[in-house]
Amino acid sequence: MATFLLLVATILTSQLVSWFLFRAARGSRDFPDAGPRTLVMHYCGSIRLAAVLLPGVVMGLLLMLVNDPVVLGSTARQVLVWLLPLAALGAGALAAEAWTRWILLDDDGIRSRSLFGETRLGWEEIEEVSWDRWLKMVVVRGRDGRRIRVNPSLSGLGMFELLLLERVERRRLTRAMPGFDALRRGAY
């Protein structure tokens, strides 16, 4: 019975978090930290909070499952014990990404910082801007192959699109426009 209740709690938690993240992304400010001809895009506070709470809930549910009397002594418990450190590592990476990720657009170009480093592309270096259908992200690719991926959950996506339209040749944006149109319609 405890395992069934844990399964129901997991399903309800995932639905609640999905709803929470959707509302957070839709409610984020569209003009974050914008100065004259400058835009800083980052995750809004509620997404940052969810990036800490969601993994915490998942870790708690895993710990409850590991200590469930039905699971004790089984091979499933051993697998779960091995998964706990991996889940903790993934949770830490998710939270760090949410708290360290930002994208700066200014007169010089686009600069992206994340947990994995910093990438910079000048406006003249941009070869193509496209929409990745699988990752649901805008991808800005430089002539030398460097890429900056822009998550639609970052604040300021509308302003990002306007700055791209202003500073990048239209022919380089054609593969991104279907994604921007779908985002405006709320299709993603």
What are the extents of the domains in the chain?
A: 2-30+44-100, 102-185
pLDDT at 156: 86
Q: How many CB atoms lie within 10 A of CB 141?
A: 19
pLDDT at 31: 45
The reported pTM is 0.72
pLDDT at 86: 84
The stretches in the chain having pLDDT less than 50 are 29-31
pLDDT at 54: 79
Round to whole Å and give the CA distance between 167 and 163.
6
pLDDT at 92: 86
Residues, the chain: 188
pLDDT at 30: 47
> Selecting from 3.90.198, 3.30.1300, 2.30.29, 3.90.380, what CATH number does the domain 102-185 have?
2.30.29
